Structure 1
């Protein structure tokens, strides 16, 4: 039986899947299997995966589309490893990522979720000048709610026992156990991490290094901030009854951090008015981001103001051009 199962959700990812699978095959820790869950693809995803299937550690499952959460759930159900990692089919792993996580979990039996920082890359796989360097130690549920140190779904390696502890059967589904909530098409990661933190005693802890290579799509930084906010609010509504006192204490600050995040995304998309609106709503909820992370907050405020001024300047009418004097 493999020590680790790496689940790769795949939906119309023919352009990037090959790089993802090659990065997994190149791991320095080799006691793993890779479960590719084709979630209803209509492109050449299967053809790209085919050469890797000659390696008996790689296997391919096709299913009707259930979304990212549904693909991960299927992968967890099929997994044979006692540790389960996830790598979305447009991301990659550093060659030493799995080795570091296995070592970390072996040394810390109370840690259920081991994660790393991330190096961002563009759609072509070129590194960007952006890294996520999250909090690594003494992580509590409030840290996850406010700042989500796990960062993205390709960052963690998680004990199978953690998923056993949060498994549930959804009343409207015949698909077996749920671990990620398939009713969410966004924010399914943070919902799952919060549920683990609130319902179990498993610890969250990170390892040093940007070991996850996270691809930012062309519209990834700026897409549909209103939908992102609505999805986050749905997570709050779902989980609030689990621990009302916890949410009463920490949700206002968490909402302020979320609004600041969305302001940064709005700036990236060139919508300075929306960015300023998000910031005003953030500070109305809580001033914590201002004193807890003053530099990041100040940079966001200045960027929103500068973007607004540049937009106004670009929209200002140009003075008429003088006609040339006749000779």
Structure 2
């Protein structure tokens, strides 16, 4: 059986569509835990008028943010497996049945991810790892985590979730990555290569619309949370470090192209020192002055080529 956790904050315009895709699942052994995070609209009334299904329970709390809401949802979940769904996303009818199949096939895993679609601008884009298409397999999570994982396409084992700090409280961006990446260091990860979830973009109030400079401290905190978990677990996962350095350089290249040197230095000054020291000292020198811009970009391009030559896929966001 599966507990479905939905954080709710001012989603009266989308929640019935989202909830309808849950109630329409072919797999029926689930409960729905909705955490009303101090909504100021009529979302709760909309839900109550939409369905009287006994599997739905609504828990009200003052507005404390999505991390607190999700953590509270897990705490109130009855079952060992918890599926997350945001109040503006959707599932195809056989999503839960396919995820349950993955759980049955890999009972020792604690993190289950599913392919999906991204709906934006009136079009659907596929989020899929092609080599795992139409299969259910255990994966090396840090091979390409941004393709593998999305909040509304993830199921976690509650006992493994409890080994982490949960969704970091107070983060306005990347709180889901912080949790799932850290969890992937604790437990085995399974990928379900069937596109059965839909992330709906272009929705009013989404945090991803915030300017980067207003959320960079939260992005930086994500790296620190995950790196600390990696360090505390004995630095055993080698792919994690390869991926993290690649991803940070991917960011840095974008900053260099826009002459946003202050963003690079913000990361240099706020990342965990242990992570900073994983980069050569000379590399940080290249990032400091516009005079070295061409050399810095050339160096990053070289490291990206090495990533590809080592057999890793091109990253997707």
| Counterpart Cα distance in 1 of 2:241 and 2:102 | 34
| Counterpart Cα distance in 1 of 2:302 and 2:193 | 30
1:220-231 to 2 correspondences below 5 Å: 223-231=210-218
Deviations along 1:95-145, one digit per CA (max 9) or x if unpaired, are: 10000000111111122111111211237xx5x2411113755533533xx
Compared CA separation, residues 213 and 259, structure 1 to 2 (3 A): farther
| Counterpart Cα distance in 2 of 1:131 and 1:236 | 26
Q: Which residue number in structure 1 is paired with residue 196 of structure 2?
A: 211
Compared CA separation, residues 239 and 156, structure 1 to 2 (3 A): closer
Deviations along 1:213-243, one digit per CA (max 9) or x if unpaired, are: 1011258676423345432211223343444
Deviations along 1:65-92, one digit per CA (max 9) or x if unpaired, are: 1211111011001100121001100101
| Counterpart Cα distance in 2 of 1:104 and 1:282 | 42
The answer to whether the 8 Å contact 1:53/1:60 transfers is no
Q: Secondary structure of 1:183's match?
A: coil
The answer to whether the 8 Å contact 2:119/2:201 transfers is yes
Larger radius of gyration: 1
Q: Shift of residue 282 of structure 1?
A: 6.8
The answer to whether the 8 Å contact 1:253/1:287 transfers is no
The answer to whether the 8 Å contact 2:182/2:225 transfers is no
The answer to whether the 8 Å contact 1:119/1:214 transfers is yes
| Counterpart Cα distance in 1 of 2:202 and 2:242 | 35
Q: Which residue number in structure 1 is paired with residue 127 of structure 2?
A: 132
Compared CA separation, residues 289 and 151, structure 1 to 2 (3 A): farther
Compared CA separation, residues 255 and 282, structure 1 to 2 (3 A): farther
| Counterpart Cα distance in 1 of 2:126 and 2:252 | 20
- Structure 1 unmatched ranges of 5 or more: 169-178, 267-271, 301-327
Deviations along 1:39-66, one digit per CA (max 9) or x if unpaired, are: 0100111121113451100111111112
| Counterpart Cα distance in 1 of 2:104 and 2:57 | 26
Q: Which residue number in structure 2 is paired with residue 64 of structure 1?
A: 62
The answer to whether the 8 Å contact 1:85/1:158 transfers is yes
Q: Which residue number in structure 1 is paired with residue 244 of structure 2?
A: 251
Compared CA separation, residues 249 and 158, structure 1 to 2 (3 A): closer
Q: Secondary structure of 1:148's match?
A: helix
Compared CA separation, residues 23 and 241, structure 1 to 2 (3 A): closer
Q: Secondary structure of 2:31's match?
A: strand
Q: Which residue number in structure 1 is paired with residue 272 of structure 2?
A: none
Compared CA separation, residues 35 and 227, structure 1 to 2 (3 A): same
Of stretches 77-86 and 179-188 in structure 1, the one that deviates more from structure 2 is: 179-188
Compared CA separation, residues 228 and 149, structure 1 to 2 (3 A): farther
Q: Which residue number in structure 2 is paired with residue 322 of structure 1?
A: none
**RMSD (Å) for aligned C-alpha atoms:** 3.4
Compared CA separation, residues 83 and 292, structure 1 to 2 (3 A): same
The answer to whether the 8 Å contact 1:255/1:282 transfers is no
The answer to whether the 8 Å contact 1:256/1:285 transfers is yes
Residue 196 in structure 1 maps to residue 183 in structure 2:
yes
| Counterpart Cα distance in 1 of 2:84 and 2:301 | 34
Q: Shift of residue 251 of structure 1?
A: 3.1
| Counterpart Cα distance in 2 of 1:289 and 1:47 | 51
TM-score (norm 1): 0.71
The answer to whether the 8 Å contact 2:118/2:124 transfers is yes
